[in-house]
Every structure is written in structure tokens, then in C-alpha cells.
Structure 1
Amino acid sequence: MAYVLARQERRSKALRQKNEHPAERHVSRGFSLMPVVWKINKPMRDDLYPTMKPVELVEPAIRNSSQPGDRVLDPFGGSCTTLMAAQKSGRIARLMERDPQYVDATVERWR
């Protein structure tokens, strides 16, 4: 079983404060050693994909859990992030998306 932990930077004009998660240590699950908490910038806001994930979030997970040439399945292909991360890491991506609007936008983003 795997868990994804997220930490948000809390900032105010008067005080800049980071909330460190106690699980910020390294663990090994039979693959390469990876940090438990990944520090990755949020993507720019996109009205079409309100929950878009950065490629930098998906790519390490793909590299750590598969080999080059393996297939990666994303049944919620939406913003094309998994496709781009799989391509960057030498994997073959298979995406599904039921909303035609997202399919068209995915093709445009991928090009």
C-alpha cells in the first residue's frame, strides 16, 4: 500500500512559515530510495483542468515503479500529465477520458 502526502506552504504577509510533515524521511519499498514527501511546485492555474498535476509529480513515481518500455495506465487522462511523464521516462502511456472536451485539450497539450 502506498500513500501520497501533500504539504502546502502557508504564507502570510506578516509571517512566512513552513509546516514540516513528520514523515519527511526516506523509505525503501523494493524500488529506489525516494523521499516520503516530495517538494514540487504547483502548476500554473488552468481553468480547464482545476486539479492539474505537474509532470514533476508523476514522473518520479512512474520511474520508481516501472521499467523503460513498460505500459502506464491512467484511467482519468484529463490533463495529459501522465502521458507526458511516461514519455519523458521512456514508458508507453495508455489514457482514458470520457469527456470529449478534455480529450481534445489533451491532444492539444501533448503536441
Structure 2
Amino acid sequence: MRLYVYVLEGKDLHVKNCYVKVHVGKHKSKTKILKKPTTNLVWNEEFVFRVYDMDEELVVSVFNHDHDHHDSGLFHGSGDLVGRVRIPIWSVLVEDNHTLPPTWFCLERHKTGKYISKDSGN
């Protein structure tokens, strides 16, 4: 089965240089880095994954790009985790036409023993 993932936008993400990593199983992709001084970011990017196991999860992780790991202008994907959401693949299959409508998800991040929530459109 092919899984199409659209990373649309995020809101209230208080970071300056932000990007999103998406992965299913061993397959990973990432968005471009948005370098905008705003809390509401728009990526509008599409990714396609091949899914073999319906028990897998789509993991969407938001990162603050770390300039200290920026080597000679090449981006290696290093950064501080802002938050993450895990979406079971089977949850897509139970929807009409096997499609989730554009949905806001709350990002969770472990910080000093507590989870904080941030909204992210996916």
C-alpha cells in the first residue's frame, strides 16, 4: 500500500529554524528548513511511503535546526526535538476512502517528566 503524507503547517511552534521528519518503518523523509521568525509555519510538502505492515506507525517529528551541527553548508538533519506525534497506519484504513482529512495533531515532548502539547497540522 502507498501512504501519502502531506505536511501542511504548524502553529504555536516557538522556534526559528524548523523542519519536520516523517517516517514509517525504515523509510524516512524530511521537509525543508523554514527560517522565519513566526510561530505559525507552512511547509505544504508531500511524501509517499510504501507500507507493508498495517501495524506500523507514521511518526511525525518537529525539530529546531541546530546550527552547531551544520557542516560546510550541508544539512545533516541534526536538531533539537520540539515534539512528535505517532499515527497508527490502521487508523487511516478505517476512514472513508482510506484518507484522513487535514487534521491538527498535538505534538508531545518529554520535558522534565511532563508532556507538553503543541498543535501541528498534518
TM-score, normalised by the number of residues in structure 2: 0.25
Relative contact order, higher structure (CA 8 A, sep 6+): 2
Give the number of the structure whose residues are more often helix, by fraction.
Answer: 1
Scaled by the length of structure 1, the TM-score of the pair is: 0.27
User: Which structure is higher in strand share?
Assistant: 2
